Amino acid sequence: MSLMDGIHACVPRNAMSSGAKKMRDFYEHKPDAGIYQKEFGYYVLDRWKREGYIKETCTQEELDALFGFDPPGRFNLGGLGGCEAAFCPPFEVKVLEDRGEHEVVQDWAGRHVLYFKNRRDGFMPEYLDHPVKDEKTWEENCLWRMDPAAPARYESLSADMAKAQQAAGEGQVLCQTMVGGYMYLRSLMGPLGLLYMFYDNPNLVHSCMRAWFDLADAVIAKHQEFVTLDSLAFDEDICYNHGSLISQDMIREFLFPYYQQLIQNTKRRQLDPSRRLHVELDTDGRSDDVIDLYAGIGMDLLAPFEAASGCDVVRTGREHPDLLISGGFDKRILAHSKEAIDREVERIMPAMKRRGGYIPTCDHGVPEEVSFENYLHYRKRMLEYA
């Protein structure tokens, strides 16, 4: 019999932590199960601190307790980027130009970025330049930074895997996160430069994607020597307010061959071969048009369903009954009134709880316009479904 340690076989339910039980119920799409409580993120914390509702030194654990969030139910393995390429070493971060109230900075991904002076977070910066323009700049600036064998990539491997194994022993879902192919290419070339490159130099795009695959496959293989994965999560951001930023044919040609091979290799290496491997996609914008497309390569979880782009988790849940859904609560409504919050909670939550397979969060970080009183009311209402 396999050892039920969360690595060679799932731990029994009575050995799982409370957060792990609820998260497993989500991944197993159990209808009417208690809904896991979490949030996407915050842009409003500075306001709440100024107004005295939370301390300057407030920790994530204190926020979780204040708002009734569940204990950890999922453990993310990193090392493969998020919104940018997983460079090792990163570019040197340095100021390139002083523009009075602004400054141009080379960031760690090699981009030239226009920031407010002395403020580099909490807003959308302007990207002025990107490191890849042709084969020469790709090889000189970036390719060598994608080396899967760079020793620095694995300096914290032992400590990271010990934490992952502990989480697996609690029954937590183990998820390998990574920058998706489109987001990765965009960080190299810029959104406009990439569109031209698909036509002007498709071989360079494939060269970049081969490096993405080689790195992802090597790092995931190393992690799989220690744990069994429950999920691969691609941070993609491939949609805008009317649909996908590139055509479905481009997605099939430039992204899917590498995704499919990575998914296949990951499944083949599992220490627990019976474990289902979920495939997750995170994209801003109107994602409806890509659901069937990505489902064709195994995608079964989508987030965060941006309401301002026309996404509706109730509609999507009805049209795609097997899809796991996270997000979808219109952050703008939180800034209106308690009555508006109540209407949206009552529109979404009863139907999605009956359905199962849903984790509600704001469709992005909670914005600065949201009062603490409104957010606390929202959290109290959501806890009715916990």
What pLDDT sits at residue 125?
Answer: 84
What pLDDT sits at residue 167?
Answer: 98
CA-derived radius of gyration, the chain: 21
Q: How many CB atoms lie within 10 A of CB 61?
A: 10
What pLDDT sits at residue 3?
Answer: 84
What pLDDT sits at residue 1?
Answer: 44
Burial 323-356 (b: 16+ CB within 10 A, else e): bbbbbbbbbebbbeeeeebeebbeebbeebbebb
Sign of CA dihedral 265, 270, 275, 280: negative
Burial of 253 per CB tally in 10 Å (0-12, 13-18, 19+) = middle
User: Is the omega angle on the peptide bond into residue 191 within 30 degrees of 0, that is, cis?
Assistant: no
Domain with CATH 3.20.20.210 in the chain: 13-89+131-385
Contact 247, 201 (CB under 8 A): no
- Amino acid (one-letter) located at 203: N
Structural fold of domain 13-89+131-385 = TIM Barrel (3.20.20)
Q: Distance from first CA to last CA of the chain, Å, rounded?
A: 35
Q: How many CB atoms lie within 10 A of CB 81?
A: 21
Question: Which residues 6+ apart lie within 8 Å of 348 measured at CB?
Answer: 313, 314, 328, 329, 360
| Full pLDDT tens readout for the chain, 386 residues | 458 899 999 999 999 999 999 999 999 999 999 999 999 999 999 999 999 999 999 999 999 999 999 999 999 999 999 999 999 999 999 999 999 999 999 999 999 999 998 887 767 789 999 999 999 999 999 999 999 999 999 999 999 999 999 999 999 999 999 999 999 999 999 999 999 999 999 999 999 999 999 999 999 999 999 999 999 999 999 999 999 999 999 999 999 999 999 999 999 999 999 999 999 999 999 999 999 999 999 999 999 999 999 999 999 999 999 999 999 999 999 999 999 999 999 999 999 999 999 999 999 899 999 999 999 999 999 999 99
Strands 126-129 and 112-116: antiparallel
